[in-house]
Structure 1
Amino acid sequence: MTAGRHEPSVYERIEAEENFQELRRRFRSWAFPMTAAFFAWYLLYVVLSGWARDFMGVKLFGNVNVALVLGLLQFVSTFWIAWAYSRYAERRLDPLAEEIRNGAEAERKSA
């Protein structure tokens, strides 16, 4: 090894591999848009609560109004996103992550 240069660590080599970059791309292509959509949905609820009080106060049935229904839908959407992510990860992320892990373990064993 020459002065000023170092051997890349296992983690640096893995990070530079095409499979790892693909894994990051797949994760980001799902997580970023879903996060933006969820924040927009949450912000809509907050804005409507602050500036559309008449609309949010509309009674749908009994004492249940639009605000209550939209508030409960916040919880439903949170659980739906978690479920959808687990399905996406199982199909698109986990197989690639397993491949990367197996490669790293094989490299570690051969060293």
Structure 2
Amino acid sequence: MWQGGPMTRPTTGDSVHGIDYVAVEESDTFQGLKRMQRSFVFPMAAFFLIWYFAYVLLAAFAPDFMSQRVWGDITIGLLMGLGQFVTTFVITMAYVSFANRRLDPVASEIREELEKADAHS
């Protein structure tokens, strides 16, 4: 399934052990891998930043709302603050799962092709 350019020794000196890493980086497979990774990372980063800044802005400008008691001494602000930690772990676990299912197989395919090309050079 390798769709990249030739992996022969280039004349420009951009290779190590006969692999043209520039050609690999410009290949459809590698570009697809980068797009796939970005399709997860950018939306999650945007989501988390919006969630984080909402928390900070509410704490700064809506203290009455954030200090509302939910149960005993537990307030909305405390729950949202703890939610920041929970969200961090959930996003991390989601990324690991996404990488294992979608990114790692493609990366392994690229690595195997590079190892074959290196062995033949």
Of residues 12, 16, 34, the one that matches 1:6 is 12
In structure 2, the residue matched to 1:70 is: 80
Q: CA deviation at 1:85?
A: 0.5
Q: What is the SS of the residue equivalent to 1:6?
A: coil
Structure 2 residue 117 is the aligned partner of structure 1 residue 107: yes
Q: Distance in 2 between matches of 1:11 and 1:71?
A: 44
Segments of 5+ residues of structure 1 without an aligned counterpart are none
- Which amino acid in structure 2 is aligned with residue 46 of structure 1? V
TM superposition score normalised by structure 2:
0.85
| Structure 1 Cα separation of the partners of residues 22 and 119 of structure 2 | 17
| 2:70 aligned counterpart, secondary structure | strand
- Which runs of structure 1 show a deviation greater than 6 angstroms over 4 or more consecutive aligned residues? none
Higher helix share goes to which structure? Answer: 1
Distance 1:89 1:36 in 2: 19
Cα separation, 2, equivalents of 1:52 and 1:46? 10
Number of residue-to-residue matches in the alignment = 107
CA RMSD, Structure 1 to Structure 2 (Å): 1.1
Distance 1:58 1:24 in 2: 44
Identity score, percent: 43
Q: 1:13: Cα distance to partner? A: 1.6
1:1-111 paired onto structure 2 within 5 Å: 6=12, 8-9=14-15, 10-111=20-121
Q: Identify unmatched segments of 5+ residues in structure 2.
A: 1-10
